[in-house]
Structure 1
Amino acid sequence: MRTILDDLIENNEFPLVFIGSGISKRYLDGFPNWTGLLEEFWNAVGFGLNFYGEFNKNIDSLKAVNPGLSEKELEHYSNIRMGTILEESFNEAFNSGSITLPNFNQKDAYQTKISPFKMAISKRFSQYTIKEKLLEEYNSFKNMLMKTQIILTTNYDCFIENSYNEISRNKVTKYIGQKGFFQETFGSAELYKLHGCVESPTDIVISEKDYERFDKNSVLISAKIISMMMHSPIIFMGYSLTDVNVRKIISDFTRSLNDQELQILENRLIIIERKQGEDQLIQEVISERDLGCKLKVIKTDNYKLIYDKISKINQGIAPTELRKYQQIVKKLIVDRGKKGTLKSVLISPEELDNLEENIQNRNLVVALGDAKYIFQIPDIVSYCLDYISDTDEISNDTRMRFAVSRNGRFPINKILDENLIENSNLHTSEKAKLINKISECTNFDEHYDSINQSSILTKRKTSVEEICKMDSKRNKIYATISYHIKDLELETVKRFLIANLADLKDKGEISISTELRRLLLLYDILVNAKGATTNQP
């Protein structure tokens, strides 16, 4: 069945994604919902009263004062009230010594001004374990995160950012609480933690006072979120349509739109709801008078299919790389361009990391190419994929210029032939540099001996397939395959390298880790080096 997600892929737009506690609960062992968390702490304090008895009393009193509230709203406001009761009682018990927290005492609470209750919540969510049975789906979730322009969440835990940073060379930029809403941001590869984070207990939103303070700034927060939502498709996952937070965000948004804009919104607003046991994607159009719009709801239990669809979006560069472009342009052109006469320099995308330290205080304009290659010089991912796959769309002259312009390890031996170099169109000095690389890039032992021994998963003879099953950390897999490469079938290694390079390219990455570079060169020496030297058995 075709869904709005297929339109998203067709339009090739990175979405803005709201991630709720339902996602953490899906993948993390023993992860509680909001009410379950409050019940945990209620029992820890040792109240004589029954938690749900008190909870029901709160609901009854709220209903008496506000008879128009829905069940979800009553539950929402009762949770906030219970949070207030708990914070007061927990802190009192902590200060009297009847409750203790590891590595945090009464003096620490006084000096840091951190609520012991919030510190306890921080410690509760600081550690987690991924459910082993969902590891394959979780890997798809991580790949999906690479295709999100901005992520917003009300979760306290660090599951989202840890998942993102585990597979991205460029970390997601995180804003906690309301800090990000008062700062200038770039609008790419950003995570907004609206209700706080375990890394900053003071920003955790849990009690009535916290929500009152949060609501005081809701105009600014809503304005920033609306600005983000105007330019991106919006996906809610891990929330239900009845979630009060979701409904407030959507209703704030729709109130600012005219009829024509509302029509556009209906094809850009998606809610993913779990339907237990459902393997297909079932799309429904819901008309919500209270929200002021229609929206698409996709019901499924097959979240891997959702993630895999979103991961197909490919703009040629990942949001993390796009953010890096924006930062460099801002710093070098906007901030430093006021200092004097501007000069220009043309750089390749992967040089951005070192650009500022190389130019120091020079005044310049940076020309950023949007074509596949700049002056036919590819990024290293494109170069290596073309080289290892034997596609050979990149000419030998381009490969040679690429090799001259770069240091470090990368596959090069196809072009390290003195006759080939001499007959090329390179300058004499460039030819000399390439010829000097022959001894360096054909010495198997030198590169083999640099393998980090602590990263080797096993030293017994094994296969590429078995190595890949041993650990989810790619760099350890690369190091282990490098260690065993002379005992492995090289065609299998080649397929592995092509798959990993293609994955990096799909994610928009333009750089490669040291461990993968080493593996690429070791493979290259064994397959392509004419004068290779090795003492390895």
Structure 2
Amino acid sequence: MVPMQTDLYEHLSKFDSSPILFVGSGFSRRYLGLEDWFHLLAKFSEEIGQNINYYVSSSNGSLPAAASLLAMDYHNTWWNEDKYSNARERYSDACKVTSSALKIEIARYIKEISETSPTDETLQHELELLQKSCIDGIITTNWDLMLERLFPEYKVFIGQEGAIFNNFQGVGEIFKIHGCCSDPNSQILTEEDYNSFDSKYPYLTSKLLTFFVEHPVIFIGYSLSDTNIVDILRSIGQCLSGDSLEKLRDRIIVIDWKPEEEPTFSDGTIKIGETTVPIKTIRTNSFIPVFSALASIKRRFPANVLRELKEYVFDLVRTNDPKGNLLVADIDSTNTHENLEVVFGVGAITKYHETGYKGLNRYDLCRDLIFDNGRFDPGHVLSVTMPDFPPASYFPVFKYLREAGRIMEDGRINTEELCDKVIRRAAYTQRNFNNPGAVRNVITRMPEFEHGLTEFYEAHGFTQVLAHSSKQDLTPADAKNLKSIIRLHFDEHVKNGKLLTPLAKIICLYDWLDYRYAIEFDQ
């Protein structure tokens, strides 16, 4: 075992969540022999009797623009030449835009290549190890079907819309953000495709940031100068301050293929414009130690089973509507209960449904508010959970009041049958969250205070945000940034399973801003 394998395994074992793989074109080149983007365009240029350099020079070196020019010529050839008659008969209904013909033929070619497997024994061994790896999910810019073959139980989301709008569980999933050969028109190929992709990029970035905050993310198949990795890290860097970026160092792991070097695992950086993004770097001449480390991580449930449990069981608990039965058996071919470390039972759920809400505490509600992962029934939270909370504690109420339909359009709150603790907190205004102290003194010491939440956080860090952000004149426009900042630092302010009061207080401020303020004042 090489030292890098041990170092990587020990590093990944520190996290509560398993890694996400971010897979680039180098992966398909290694295991399928697929061309890179330039040579793929060159192949299809030759099909219509053109040289790829004609298109590249005509577009001043821009490959997306070159692809647009090629797509136009390919469109004319595909619709008129006899050699494409069978393809026209079969796929003409799929031709929606000028680039469709080229995308269809590229997709057909990639589908065929996707059915092949490497004959080299080393590559075969690498893929066998990868299949055994403990990973929570995969994000890829590749169009081929190799990842689906390696992880057939994973759910696949295609395109930006698939990543943005679907209810993903964060485990057992493949996100093909540049489209897939199974849906030719989804492939991001031309200049027009990239313009459309870029226009929606902020929404995708918000989804990706969740992965970066909650998982270690391993980039494989990209060079450090690849525009895909640079654009993603630039977007992440624009969302975070220097201190927060440093906290992501352990979570961003880039594999740098170095065939002449011995494997190493070390700290590194990527310079993107004026921003330096800290990362972990794996330099390696073999993927065997990398995939061996991933395969050594222990998971109690297979990813696909864990995804089903999250998707179905939690939905059942949330809705209290048992529409069907979920039976999960034969986990990883385990045939006897003696071999199981975890037994997950679902039964008589209606009987115990409300009783379970008495076990929730302030930590659970605050985490649900910030990470959107509790899926609690708001009525039960208000009527069963909150009456048992200490009278003087800070806990969020407005999210659950809104979701229970108790906040009216005119801002009034229906407090019927609610306990006194909830009724008192439902009357809170921003003054209830203000820390005592002179604002002028804060401005004198930290002038960024007057420039808004984000600039104040970037200049002085989260400790000062905890101490002073409640004195700022925050509005619902600040709520999203405040939530993102809290996400990054949430676990730092939990002690012995309990949420520390300063964080609970600022979370309640966010609750008021996002779920109460807008309704009360933005009529």
The question of a shared fold, defined as TM-score above 0.5 by the shorter chain, is answered with yes
CA distance, structure 2, for counterparts of residue 199 and residue 101 of structure 1: 21
1:23 matched to 2:57: no
Matches within 5 A, 1:77-476: 78-97=62-81, 99-100=83-84, 102=86, 104-105=87-88, 108-110=91-93, 113=96, 115-128=100-113, 129-133=116-120, 134-144=123-133, 147-165=134-152, 171-180=153-162, 181-281=164-264, 283-290=266-273, 291-337=275-321, 352-353=327-328, 381-384=333-336
Q: Secondary structure at the match of 1:178?
A: helix
Tell me, what secondary structure is at the counterpart of 1:230?
helix
1:99 positional shift: 4.7
Partners of 1:23 and 1:237 within 8 A in 2: yes
Do the aligned residues in 1 keep the contact of 2:256 with 2:284 (CA within 8 Å)? yes
Return the offset for 1:310.
1.2
1:237 Cα shift?
0.2
Work out the CA distance in 1 between the residues paired with 2:280 and 2:318. 41
Q: Report Cα offsets for 1:2-50 as digits up to 9, x if no partner.
A: 5455311343531111001101111114x10111100000100112xx3
State the distance in 2 between where 1:220 and 1:380 align.
36
State the secondary structure of the residue aligned to 1:227: helix
- Conserved in 1, the CA contact under 8 Å of 2:301 and 2:331? no
Q: Deviations over 1:490-532 (max 9, x none)?
A: xxxxxxxxxxxxxxxxxxxxxxxxxxxxxxxxxxxxxxxxxxx
Q: Which protein is bigger by CA-based radius of gyration?
A: 1
Query: Offset at 1:57?
Result: 5.2
Instruction: Classify 1:112/1:202 alpha carbon distance in 2 versus 1 (closer, same or farther; 3 Å).
Output: same
Task: Determine the structure 1 residue equivalent to 2:496.
Answer: none
The question of 1:9 aligning with 2:13 is answered yes
Q: Provide closer, same or farther for how the CA distance between residues 227 and 379 of structure 1 changes in structure 2, counting only shifts above 3 A.
A: closer
Q: CA RMSD in A?
A: 2.9
**CA distance, structure 2, for counterparts of residue 90 and residue 220 of structure 1:** 33
User: Which one-letter code corresponds to 1:172 in the other structure?
Assistant: Y
Of 39, 43, 48 in structure 1, the residue corresponding to residue 42 of structure 2 is 39
Structure 1 residues 234 and 124: CA distance shift in structure 2, 3 A:
same
Q: 1:200-235: per-residue Cα shift (whole Å, max 9, x none)?
A: 111111001111111121111111111222111111
Q: Which amino acid aligns with 1:27?
A: Y
CA distance 1:268–1:380, change in 2 (3 Å): closer
Give a deviation string over 1:173-219, Cα, whole Å, max 9, x none.
Answer: 10101232112211111111111111111111100111111112111
Q: Secondary structure at the match of 1:352?
A: coil
Contact 2:262 2:284 in 1 (8 A): yes
Deviation string for 1:462-515 (max 9, x for gaps)? Answer: xxxxxxxxxxxxxxxxxxxxxxxxxxxxxxxxxxxxxxxxxxxxxxxxxxxxxx
Within 1, Cα distance between the matches of 2:80 and 2:272?
51
Q: CA separation in 2, counterparts of 1:27 and 1:18?
A: 16
Per the TM alignment, residue 241 of structure 1 is displaced from its structure 2 partner at its CA by: 1.0
Distance 2:92 2:220 in 1: 36
C-alpha separation in 2, matches of 1:131 and 1:256: 40
TM-score of the aligned structures, taking structure 1 as reference length = 0.57
Structure 2: unaligned runs, 5 residues or longer: 344-523
TM norm structure 2: 0.58
The letter of the residue matching 2:327 is: L
**Secondary structure of 2:143's aligned partner:** coil
Cross-structure match for 1:449: none
